[in-house]
Structure 1
Amino acid sequence: MSSSATSVASVLSDRINALQESQTIAMAKKGRELAAQGIDVISLSFGEPDFQTPQYVKDAAKAAIDEGYTFYTPVPGYLDLRQEISAKFKRDNNLDYQPDQIVVSTGAKQSLANVVLSVINPGDEVIVFAPYWVSYEEMVKLAEGVPVPLMGTIENDYKVTAQELEAAITPRTKLIMYSSPCNPTGAVFSREELAAIAEVVARHPQVLVMADEIYEYINFVGEHVSIAQFEEIKDRVITVNGFSKGYAMTGWRVGYLAASKEIASACDKLQSQITSGTCSIAQRAGLAALQGGRASADEMVTAYRRRRDLVLDLVQDIPGFRTPVPEGAFYIFPDVSGCFGKTTPEGKVLETSADVAFYLLSDAHVVAVSGDAFGAPNCIRFSTAAADEKLQEAFTRIKTSIEKLG
């Protein structure tokens, strides 16, 4: 074979060949391809608020340009932003993080990656509460760690219990990753549940915990609990948050982490070699967002709760779908295994949730993401961050398509 015929895969690194494309992005791409053909496609695949960024945040960004915030920023973020984040942690979470324990990054996604790459060595095991956000497992693999998915039961709203965690920990366990409110399930861990998990972690001093709290403000049950509140493990917890969900700032790409000084410094060092400091204008917008409080988030929560209830009413009439009630975020995550073994009008047997998702794309023209991407192969994720009429139409179409199955 000539060198010109060498496969692309052989040119690329093993780590990139082993990395999976985000299925969320892949399904959205397929939906756009259908839409480009003139088909009326409803996309419920992306985890993105359908609200605009609050006007006062936009105004602060415009002012920042005029005020000359156009230069390189400190790697961990502007000091006044980190001070404001520190105050937010104290006000909302009763957590004491100093500014030098906080690193601002280009989105919470980078914060998560910074932590994994800073603490995981080849062969370290990382327990990932499943269902999990699509990128957790791939980040662990990129760091040459060993992801250990730990699946919660549907009867417990997909939440892992302390007893299940205890049984999964080994001498090689280095890190636990989870989100609450959870993407994709919308599950929210209670204070009692996290207290029990903290007791388990306390018995294993080599284990760190990374808590992804990006959906903190989108909570339908009231209290949000941070696992870093438990004194016995607080120094081993890394708390990750950001602005994309609570302030409808997905495109601004501003997230942050708070951790022990040692871990925060490591993430600062790593970030200095990859992206350096986050966009100056976006940081000023983030500062304004925090200073403006959470009224805009509360308005969105009212809409998200209404949409959740609307969708749950519609889904209960769809045969083969079994759906717990989400307590936060803006997703529903039904178990669709009741559709497995059924046949489409074209004669294809549905064997997996991916089959169901592709069938709904082709027949109902609704874009969703199969549960394989989230470590839950019996499920499908639908975003409810869409207008009420879109959701009504989407799930009416889905019901019609499912009822066609033989």
Structure 2
Amino acid sequence: MYHWSILSQQYPASSIRKMAKLARQFDDTIMLTMGEPNFETPDFIKQAGINAIKENRTHYGPNVGEEAFQQAVADKYKVLTKSSFSPNEVMASFGATEGILLVMMSILNAGDEVLIANPHYPNYLGQIMGLGAKVVQVPVYEGNQFKIQAEDIEAAITERTKLLIINSPNNPMGSILTQEEMEEIAAVADKYKVTILSDEVYESIMYDGQKHFSLFQIPGAKENHFVVNSFSKTYAMTGWRVGYVVGNAAAIERMAEFREGVGFCVPPFIQDAAAEALKSDQSIVKEYLKAYDRRRHVIVDGLNKISGFHCLKTEGAFYAFPNIQAFGKSSQDFALELLEETHVAMTPGSAFGSMGEGYLRISFAQSEEVLQEAVERIHQYVSETYPNIK
């Protein structure tokens, strides 16, 4: 090639995938890096997709999405928020990832500032950079139960701030925002006229009887803010690549125009399958949650029995974020050490921002048996190698 763009040279590579690549050198590696359910997509969803293909739902569809899909999402939010939602306030997207990008494209100009948590989901960075905007990271502390604070957000706002991204339940930290905390954050954003993008892809994975509080349960929030969601985690549909954006109708119409030049349309048969998932009785989602809860205890309780590991109880999503500062090593070095010595692959906390240093992110989307084996390997290695660690 004659030229590389500045973006291609500076685009942040995924440390999650880097660690996964390194892990492939061992035949018996236990992969706890990727945030992907080990469940298969439920048969009734697959059958809906098959039926749609047989019905020749394989042609171009509207940029914004199929009306039946839009209606199914709108109906979901009517029930959730007890307020009106119409199909033209919904756009189908290629997973939540594209939905996030389309929201940014509709809001940001070069030089605008976007507030994100630190630690954060790393894919936000590249999207912001690609639009010429600036990332401003808001520190999140273990002492606050890994919850972003409204006062820290307010302290980071400048006249250039146009967008705030929040993620609850949270990846990588496993924390959730309560109704009160969400309302405090929304009040700060509205005070300074900052748009919120609420990434709610883990909404169905919350423990100990806690219920998800969506940004759109705040009256009037949909007029100026956006919710992005996905079917990937809730219904084990990662490879289907289907999600959605919910927001005001004018913004959704503008995003559909961007879609024309990005991917034209989410395949209609995939939207049909996703709509069927939304219209179901959600019993499969409840079964998944029970399994994740058992897995949570295997990892969190197991790690807390290992000297040197200190892990808060995961509130939502399927990640543990243990503190490993007692070992006196960088999270990158310690993750590599554990990979080489135990063949358990985890992601260094530094992959999620500077505030992630001193932590590891562990996905417990694997089976209980696999997770138990991982804990036992780590426990044996640490007890033998660090006998005096506290």
The answer, yes or no, to whether TM exceeds 0.5 is yes
Question: Which residue is 1:332 aligned to?
Answer: 320
Q: Residue type of the partner of 1:369?
A: T
Conserved 8 A contact 1:129-1:176? no
Question: Out of 19, 37, 48, which is 2:11 matched to?
Answer: 19
Q: Tell me the alpha carbon deviations over residues 95-140 of structure 1, each in whole angstroms, 9 at most, x when there is no partner.
A: 5332112110111111111112221111111110232112112211
Question: Out of 353, 363, 368, which is 1:388 matched to?
Answer: 368
Residue 60 (structure 1) aligned with residue 48 (structure 2): yes
Q: How many residues align?
A: 383
Residue 210 (structure 1) aligned with residue 197 (structure 2): yes
Match of 1:80, SS state, is helix
Residue 399 (structure 1) aligned with residue 386 (structure 2): no
CA distance in structure 1 between the partners assigned to 2:186 and 2:282 by the alignment:
28
CA distance in structure 1 between the partners assigned to 2:283 and 2:298 by the alignment:
23
C-alpha RMSD over aligned residues: 1.5
Q: Which residues of 2 match residues 295-310 of structure 1 at below 5 A? A: 295-310=283-298
Conserved 8 A contact 1:120-1:174? yes
CA distance in structure 2 between the partners assigned to 1:16 and 1:97 by the alignment:
40
Question: Which residue is 1:360 aligned to?
Answer: 338
CA distance in structure 2 between the partners assigned to 1:338 and 1:384 by the alignment:
23
| Gaps in structure 1 of 5+ consecutive residues | 1-7, 341-349
Task: Give the direction of change, closer, same or farther, for the CA distance of 1:401–1:225 in structure 2 (3 Å limit).
Answer: same
Match of 1:148, SS state, is strand
Instruction: Give the TM-score normalised by the residue count of structure 2.
Output: 0.94
The more displaced of 80-89 and 149-158 is: 149-158
Conserved 8 A contact 2:300-2:314? no
Q: Residue type of the partner of 2:364?
A: T
Match of 2:38, SS state, is coil
Conserved 8 A contact 1:201-1:233? no
Q: Which residues of 2 match residues 1-400 of structure 1 at below 5 A? A: 11-32=3-24, 34-35=25-26, 39-94=27-82, 96-205=84-193, 207-220=194-207, 221-231=209-219, 233-340=221-328, 350=329, 352-375=330-353, 376-400=356-380
CA distance in structure 1 between the partners assigned to 2:380 and 2:139 by the alignment:
31
Q: Tell me the alpha carbon deviations over residues 134-158 of structure 1, each in whole angstroms, 9 at most, x when there is no partner.
A: 2112211111111111122102111
Task: Give the direction of change, closer, same or farther, for the CA distance of 1:338–1:95 in structure 2 (3 Å limit).
Answer: farther
CA distance in structure 2 between the partners assigned to 1:373 and 1:138 by the alignment:
13
Q: Tell me the alpha carbon deviations over residues 369-405 of structure 1, each in whole angstroms, 9 at most, x when there is no partner.
A: 1112211122111000111111111011112233314
CA distance in structure 1 between the partners assigned to 2:379 and 2:80 by the alignment:
41
CA distance in structure 2 between the partners assigned to 1:76 and 1:223 by the alignment:
30
Task: Give the direction of change, closer, same or farther, for the CA distance of 1:377–1:93 in structure 2 (3 Å limit).
Answer: farther
Conserved 8 A contact 1:202-1:233? no
Conserved 8 A contact 1:97-1:258? no
Deviation at 1:76, TM superposition (A): 1.2
Q: Tell me the alpha carbon deviations over residues 222-264 of structure 1, each in whole angstroms, 9 at most, x when there is no partner.
A: 2211122223543221100010111110111001001122321
Task: Give the direction of change, closer, same or farther, for the CA distance of 1:93–1:224 in structure 2 (3 Å limit).
Answer: farther
CA distance in structure 1 between the partners assigned to 2:325 and 2:83 by the alignment:
41
Conserved 8 A contact 2:94-2:242? yes
| Gaps in structure 2 of 5+ consecutive residues | none
Q: Residue type of the partner of 1:309?
A: H
CA distance in structure 2 between the partners assigned to 1:23 and 1:113 by the alignment:
20
Conserved 8 A contact 1:243-1:254? yes
CA distance in structure 1 between the partners assigned to 2:146 and 2:75 by the alignment:
32
CA distance in structure 2 between the partners assigned to 1:362 and 1:94 by the alignment:
52
